[in-house]
Every structure is written in structure tokens, then in C-alpha cells.
Amino acid sequence: MERVSVEAKVLKKNDEFAAENRALFEARRLVVFNMWSAPGAGKTTLLERTLKELEGRLRIGVIEGDIQTEIDADRIRSAGAPAYQINTSRCHLEANMIQEALERFPVDELDVLIIENIGNMVCPASYDLGEHARIMLYSSTEGAEKPRKYPKMFFRSDCVLLNKVDLVPYTNVSVDELRANVLAVSPRAVVLPISCRTGEGFSAWIDWLTAAVERQREAFHVSGGARTNPGD
Amino acid sequence: MERVSVEAKVLKKNDEFAAENRALFEARRLVVFNMWSAPGAGKTTLLERTLKELEGRLRIGVIEGDIQTEIDADRIRSAGAPAYQINTSRCHLEANMIQEALERFPVDELDVLIIENIGNMVCPASYDLGEHARIMLYSSTEGAEKPRKYPKMFFRSDCVLLNKVDLVPYTNVSVDELRANVLAVSPRAVVLPISCRTGEGFSAWIDWLTAAVERQREAFHVSGGARTNPGD
């Protein structure tokens, strides 16, 4: 069927671009995260607080994906980090959009690049951007059964942050049930309850992130990434 | 470009199926709503409460769209209404899926059909299902600026319900700012703050829904829908 074959071609082409991105990141020893969630789960707020916590320890840049507006990139710049805004009419970022962004957004001075995807709990999960790890932010107020209804994004995430736990006492959601549902579809995921507003659970998230950066740097070293960028 | 032309063809074909659905709904004098939101805004909870409020006044059936599971259709059946579950690997419902569902889901005894779309604030807005009106549910806890970042779904909605207003006092969201942002992208929308949990604002929603049903029945009558289904 024509439609399915075009979709398959788009995904195959995306994987080729993603592989090129990954080679570029390796050459620059740049550790890259793809961060995704439904709209409003708190990705930008998480980034603002994370940038503050890691100021002076890691040089972090952000690529923001949104359908419209430059609101999120402006917030990241106000938090003191370099940011590049992609506006796309599509419901997800694709690897070639990141490649085009990298032509305009200087990453040579960065240790870490975080790509904030479009707010959407379905489509972004199908598109590899060349990242080294995937972080999912889930708004705990939105119900405990969602991992079973939207499994792919949970399944593909390395770290699942259960945000807004400060609001959970005012709802009928059980964080234990939510965590069990995440682990049912994604047994290998690290699941961390947090509140970007109050700071609850934030140190565990910072520990995960910094350890993930260290692990990837070690992987670069082992795979010879250092040789391709000897000046680093 | 191949990809864009296939997408245009898919949308054109969808519009043809939607027109067929609309003719079928008119022949049966069935008033149809397309209900959409991001995952977890509370669509199924809204329906459960609405079915209870309108029991004995309107015969309502529900088509549930989900990527996986029959959780939502089971909840609707427990609330006493007929429900049909569509499971699709796609991130949105399309008009032909509704047509196929109608072959198996008897709607002759119904006054109203509500189609609960996939939880996604982007893709469903592009696909007409043949509905007479569109209802958007937005979770107020997820931020006041989202209508500006995801304008299409707000723009295409006849009624925008700002749900979870009972949780807003525990956040830094302003409902006034949120409402202003909805009206900025969709000046003709009816905007109603509600809480499906506490029942706040629920009577205004029921009033809107019953008035919309009456308006559409009058439109059927004027357009001669009664003649195409003389036994009604």
C-alpha cells in the first residue's frame, strides 16, 4: 500500500540521518539526550531547574522543538543556556531537522545537548534523532493507566520522570500503581518521582543525568571518539 | 515531493469518508461529537459523569479511540452506555475507522454519538470524522501558554473545557490567562472551566451539550434529514 510504503521510507531515511547525527556527536564527544512528554508535563521547567543545578559543572545547550512560538527557547536563554528553536508543522522532530539546526547552532563549546521534543506522547517515539539516551517526563496528575495505553514512548525511554508528585495528594492517582504500570511496559527504565515546582526528588534526577553523561563519555573513549577529536 | 503529496491524498480521501459519515448521521438524525485532548486530560471521566447526568434524557453511545487496551470502553459500559473500542496503531482517528466501527456498532437506538479520539494535542485536529461539533478538553494544570503553542486543536474546537480547575490553586497557572490564550487563537469557542472530579462548572457544560444537540436536530429538520429517515 502506497501510504505504508512511504511511511516506511520516511522512517528508514530518518534512521540514516540519525546515524549521521550520532557520528557527528561522537566526533565532538557531545552527549545528547532526547526528552519527550505530552504537552504541559513540565519539560521546560525541568530544564530551567536542571540548568541552574548544573551551572559550572556541565556546559549544556538545548534545542527546542515546538509547532509554533519561541516561548521555550526564550525561557532557556533566560536560564543562562544557549538555545535554538525549531518550529515545525509536524507533530514530532526528525533527525534531519536536528542536522539542519546544528548548521546554525554552535555546539563545539558544549558538553551536553538536550533536545526538547514536541509535546506529544505518540509520534516522537518513532523517530531516532541520534541521541544517546531518552528521557520521558510524565505528569502524574494525568492518570496511572497511561503507560498501558501509550506504551511505546515509555518502552523506549531510559529514564521516566513522574513529575508533579506534589499535586498527587489532591487527585485519585496512585504513584505506586503508576510506577508499576511504567515498569510493566518498560522493565529496564529508571523511574523517578519528582516535582519540578518544589524540588522533591530532584537530586536523584541530577544523579541519574550526570551518571548517564559519564557513562556516555566513557563509551566515546572506548569506541575511539577521542581520536577523532584530539584537541578535546 | 512524494511524502507531502501522499499526505495530501490521505487528507483528501479522509474528507470523502467524513462526508459519507455525515450523510449517514444525517439520515439517522444522530448528533455526533468529536472529543479530543492530550493524554490524561480526563475525557473518559468527563463522559462517565455526563452519561450519569443525562441518563433518561438522551440516549448516548461512545466510540473510544486508543492505541492499545479496552480500558476506556469498559469504563463507559460500566457507566451504563453502549461503547465500541477502536484500537489503532495511529496517533489519531480517521473517518474510515469510524465507518468500519459503524458496521459493527448499532447506533439506530441512539440520539447522540460521542467519539473519544486518541490522546494527542496535534494530529487528530487534521482529520474530520464527519462530526457536527468538536469538544476539546484541556487539563488546566498543564500551563496557560499551550493554546499558543498548539493552536490548531483549540482553533477547530466549538467548546473548550478547562478541566481540573480544582487543582489550579496548587499550581502557578492562571485560569484567566489560559482562557485569554484560548480566545486569542479561537475567538468563537465557548470556554468553560470545569472539574470532572468535584463537579464544579458541570451544569454549564451540560447546558452547552444539550443546546448543541437541539441546534443540530433543528439543522437536520431544516435540511430535510427527517425525510431521508421517515420512520424516525
Report how far residue A12's alpha carbon sits from residue A7's, in angstroms, rounded to the nearest whole number.
Answer: 9
Answer for the pair A203, A191: CB distance below 8 angstroms, yes or no: no
Q: How confident is the model at residue B222 (pLDDT cuts 50, 70, 90)?
A: confident
Q: Comparing C-alpha atoms, which of B101, B95, B94 is closest to residue B18?
A: B95
Report how far residue B121's alpha carbon sits from residue B129's, in angstroms, rounded to the nearest whole number.
Answer: 16
pLDDT of residue A222: 87
Kindly write down the DSSP assignment for every residue of B35-63, as one continuous string.
Answer: EE-STTSSHHHHHHHHHHHTTTT--EEEE
B184 touches chain A (CB under 8 A): no
Give B21→chain A minimum CA distance, Å.
22
CATH class of A2-222: alpha beta
pLDDT of residue B2: 73
pLDDT of residue B227: 42
Q: Which residue has the higher pLDDT, A1 or A82?
A: A82
Report how far residue B137's alpha carbon sits from residue A208's, in angstroms, rounded to the nearest whole number.
Answer: 34
CA-CA-CA-CA dihedral for A175, A176, A182, A187, to nearest 10: 150
**If you average pLDDT over residues B52-74, what whole number do you get?**
96
pLDDT of B63 over the 60 cut: yes
What lies within 8 Å, CB to CB, of A183 at 6+ separation is A189, A191
Tell me if B40 and A143 make a contact (CB, 8 A cut-off): yes
> Taken in order A178, A180, A181, A187, is the CA torsion positive or negative?
positive
Chain B residues with beta carbon closer than 8 angstroms to that of A49:
none
pLDDT of B76 over the 90 cut: yes
pLDDT of residue A136: 98
Closest B-chain CA to A195: B171
- Condensed to tens digits (0 to 9), the pLDDT of residues A24-46 reads 999 999 999 999 999 999 999 99
Number of helices followed by number of strands (H, E) in chain B: 9, 7
Chain B residues with beta carbon closer than 8 angstroms to that of A123:
91, 120, 122-123
pLDDT of residue B1: 54
pLDDT of residue A75: 97
The type of residue at A62 is V
Q: Which of A49, A97, A141 to mutate to test the interface with B (most CBs of B within 10 A)?
A: A141
Answer for the pair A223, A26: CB distance below 8 angstroms, yes or no: yes
- Condensed to tens digits (0 to 9), the pLDDT of residues B176-190 reads 999 999 999 999 999
pLDDT of residue A232: 35
Report how far residue A138's alpha carbon sits from residue A39's, in angstroms, rounded to the nearest whole number.
Answer: 10
pLDDT of B225 over the 90 cut: no
The conformation of residue A81, written as its DSSP 8-state character, comes to: S
Report how far residue B137's alpha carbon sits from residue B126's, in angstroms, rounded to the nearest whole number.
Answer: 17
Bridge-based pairing state of the strands A31-36 and A60-66: unpaired
Number of C-alpha atoms within 13 angstroms, CB side, residue A3? 8
pLDDT of residue A183: 98
pLDDT of residue B230: 36
Answer for the pair A101, A130: CB distance below 8 angstroms, yes or no: no
Q: Comparing C-alpha atoms, which of B22, B200, B226, B23 is closest to residue B115?
A: B22
Residue positions counted in chain A: 232
Report how far residue B82's alpha carbon sits from residue B138's, in angstroms, rounded to the nearest whole number.
Answer: 25
pLDDT of B111 over the 50 cut: yes
**If you average pLDDT over residues B162-174, what whole number do you get?**
97
B10 touches chain A (CB under 8 A): yes
Query: Smallest Cβ distance to B6: which of A3, A141, A167?
Result: A3
A147 touches chain B (CB under 8 A): no
Q: What's the pTM? A: 0.93
B39 touches chain A (CB under 8 A): yes
Kindly write down the DSSP assignment for every residue of B122-169, as one continuous string.
Answer: SGGGG---S-SEEEEEEEGGG-SSHHHHSHHHHHT-SEEEEE-TTTGG
Cell (9 digits) for A169: 495528594
Cβ pairs bridging A and B (under 8 Å): 124
- Condensed to tens digits (0 to 9), the pLDDT of residues A85-136 reads 999 989 999 999 999 999 999 899 999 999 999 999 999 999 999 999 999 9
pLDDT of B226 over the 80 cut: no
A108 touches chain B (CB under 8 A): no
CA angle A206, A207, A212 (to 5 degrees): 100
A185 touches chain B (CB under 8 A): no
Quote the mean pLDDT of chain A. 94
E strands, chain A, in order: 31-36, 60-66, 83-87, 112-116, 133-139, 159-163, 190-193
A57 touches chain B (CB under 8 A): no
What lies within 8 Å, CB to CB, of A31 at 6+ separation is A25, A111, A112, A113, A132, A212, A213, A216, A217
Q: How confident is the model at residue B152 (pLDDT cuts 50, 70, 90)?
A: very high
Give B143→chain A minimum CA distance, Å.
6
pLDDT of A229 over the 70 cut: no
Report how far residue A205's alpha carbon sits from residue A49's, in angstroms, rounded to the nearest whole number.
Answer: 11
pLDDT of A12 over the 90 cut: yes
pLDDT of B231 over the 80 cut: no
pLDDT of A213 over the 50 cut: yes
pLDDT of residue A193: 98
pLDDT of residue A223: 79
Answer for the pair B163, B199: CB distance below 8 angstroms, yes or no: no
What lies within 8 Å, CB to CB, of B20 at 6+ separation is B95, B99, B130
Q: Comparing C-alpha atoms, which of A159, A158, A62 is closest to residue A117?
A: A62
Q: Which of B12, B122, B153, B164 to mutate to test the interface with A (most CBs of A within 10 A)?
A: B122
Q: Environment class of residue B224 by beta-carbon count within 10 Å: exposed (0-12), middle (13-18) or buried (19+)?
A: exposed
pLDDT of B232 over the 80 cut: no
pLDDT of residue B172: 94
**If you average pLDDT over residues B24-32, what whole number do you get?**
97
B141 touches chain A (CB under 8 A): yes
Tell me if A91 and B151 make a contact (CB, 8 A cut-off): no
pLDDT of A231 over the 50 cut: no
> Taken in order B207, B213, B214, B216, is the CA torsion positive or negative?
positive
Q: ipTM of the assembly?
A: 0.90
pLDDT of B228 over the 70 cut: no
Kindly state which CATH superfamily the domain B13-221 is placed in. P-loop containing nucleotide triphosphate hydrolases (3.40.50.300)
Query: Smallest Cβ distance to B67: which of A119, A150, A166?
Result: A150
